[in-house]
Structure 1
């Protein structure tokens, strides 16, 4: 199956017309490229760096199957290219195959972001038959004892390796997502080799970003400068050595970046998020920003209207919220003040 996406939807002019029709005085931001669908906050793992909100949406508040199908149809109508089924653990939803099938039927590229520990080969095969385009599996390390301790799930690492093998047997593209922190950075060379051995298309070396539970556990997770420097060196060397074999994405912690993260350069302008209970968010951590009231797909407003006209999205996007020194900074429309 191809992992190559078109740069614009074939009916882009029609999609823009749908958005333009919903527009009043708000700026037109064009077509969002991708949407992160957090279809549940339920998860069997207990990762200390989880970026989900500390106050999770309970399962009784989750959107129903029909509500998620309506969301998927609306996203396709406005020209969204990709949907990423996430959580929590998306495979905890019994209707996942049905949702993937509907997404495929309306023309959306589908990616499953999973811990993999709840998957069987039969269910993964059903997802592939339903039109699933890509699988991303999170790994907590390469050594079973450490990986299972970090995830809080016995025999989880062994299961992840098994599901990764099934993924390639079913000819689905595979991304290894390795969340890196002080406890496992020493395993990075082996994680890179594991990704090659698993025949992964891509490795995401994702240093922990400190929101949600990760912020509460920052003292135990934050790497030293020396650790991060070594991590950067290893990634650069591996990128050169494995060019054409394994694509490697690299995300450093906000605290060590040279400039504030241009978070809203994508989130809220090209991407957005829908929570398990249906809140439409400019990024997955947006609810931590005080003073913003987010619309729900259960409201009377369409997703197109929320994207274009909602007060929260437009206040999130601009520079009007900034205080000094950001307000007068020459980079204010380059990095937009970083993650808020």
Structure 2
């Protein structure tokens, strides 16, 4: 088992890291930041590459890795990556569309230290399916949300507003009634399909990229987060790996160029319902049975789901196919 070392003083280590395993997905959601879909590719990172990254995350002092995509379970060997992350002391979130889950998938999700994230768009099946571009996706995702809760698997959900008149508030209320207690509602970000062919801008970001989190894309590029993917420049497959990227001047320049966004209340606020959200990451509100260590940041205000630590001082960290075989 890899020993978790103290966070190096030379550079900030993120509390959570998003591992974007693939662009392949059963769905083709209209707001998808990486334009994933059935015809998309897995990327050039091998399972050994991902294992190396996961081990380095543990060695650096990262607390949580989030497996995302695309549909992360579309990548052959994804379950081995979950097991590897657990074996080196990391907690894991799998952000899945929950379109199709096999018995093996449920077994992986049910392990201690693993939690689920998913997206849900409307109480109306037709409206939900309009967002995913896949008829029948609402029924499958909803049924698997219910099953996850029945199995006692920790689950968060994000509702993304993609068009006028969407019943997102009713979707939130339905999720609460089902027993989902960690929910965010947010607008689609102007990246990928939601960008409508326009180049993304800093307005698409919550202002917390590089501050407590980062993303590694399917080709190994290190980006401030999956939404800020166009800002990535260095690669974990280069000499020095993730440590080399984080200790380099290029990363420091990228981080400095992202303007922080603050609220007038001083409280942590939800930012993105798909993968960027303040409260379920240990950087803001530890929810994985582990704490950020000796760092004292004052009060931490929980809000909702996982993975994007806000910039407010109290929470700013220092550190069918039918489905792909889950």
Counterpart pick for 1:194 among 134, 156, 174:
174
Preserved contact between residue 138 and residue 178 of structure 1 (Cα < 8 Å)? yes
Preserved contact between residue 128 and residue 170 of structure 1 (Cα < 8 Å)? no
Secondary structure of residue in 2 paired with 1:269: coil
Matching residue of 2:294: none
Task: Report the Cα offset of residue 197 of structure 1.
Answer: 2.3
Q: Deviations over 1:28-67 (max 9, x none)?
A: 443211111100011121111111169x996363311121
Matching residue of 1:210: 190
Does 1:317 find its partner at 2:241? no
Matching residue of 1:305: 244
Matching residue of 1:15: 6
Secondary structure of residue in 2 paired with 1:61: coil
Q: Deviations over 1:178-230 (max 9, x none)?
A: 11132453x13321221122211211112111112101079xxxxxxxxxxxx
Please identify the structure whose Cα radius of gyration is greater: 1
Unmatched 5+ stretches in structure 2: 260-310, 313-326
Does 1:65 find its partner at 2:56? no
List structure 1 runs of 4+ shifted beyond 4 angstroms.
Answer: 129-132
Matching residue of 2:155: 174
Matching residue of 2:210: 268
How far, CA to CA, are the matches of 2:41 and 2:86 in structure 1?
A: 25
Relative distance call for 1:205 and 1:75 in structure 2 (3 A) is same
Matching residue of 2:63: 81
Preserved contact between residue 159 and residue 171 of structure 2 (Cα < 8 Å)? yes
Preserved contact between residue 49 and residue 217 of structure 1 (Cα < 8 Å)? no
How far, CA to CA, are the matches of 2:236 and 2:116 in structure 1?
A: 26
How far, CA to CA, are the matches of 2:217 and 2:93 in structure 1?
A: 17
Preserved contact between residue 104 and residue 130 of structure 1 (Cα < 8 Å)? no
How far, CA to CA, are the matches of 1:65 and 1:184 in structure 2?
A: 42
How far, CA to CA, are the matches of 1:174 and 1:139 in structure 2?
A: 12
Q: TM-score, normalised by structure 2?
A: 0.70
Preserved contact between residue 135 and residue 172 of structure 1 (Cα < 8 Å)? yes
Unmatched 5+ stretches in structure 1: 1-10, 21-27, 219-253, 323-333, 336-340
How far, CA to CA, are the matches of 1:65 and 1:262 in structure 2?
A: 29
How far, CA to CA, are the matches of 1:83 and 1:175 in structure 2?
A: 15
Secondary structure of residue in 1 paired with 2:119: strand
How far, CA to CA, are the matches of 1:215 and 1:314 in structure 2?
A: 27
Count of equivalent residues: 257
Question: What pairs up with 1:80-99 in 2 under 5 angstroms?
Answer: 80-99=62-81
The structure that is helix-richer by fraction is 1
How far, CA to CA, are the matches of 1:37 and 1:101 in structure 2?
A: 15
How far, CA to CA, are the matches of 1:179 and 1:155 in structure 2?
A: 18
How much is the aligned-residue C-alpha RMSD, in angstroms? 3.0
Matching residue of 1:162: 143
How far, CA to CA, are the matches of 2:172 and 2:224 in structure 1?
A: 32
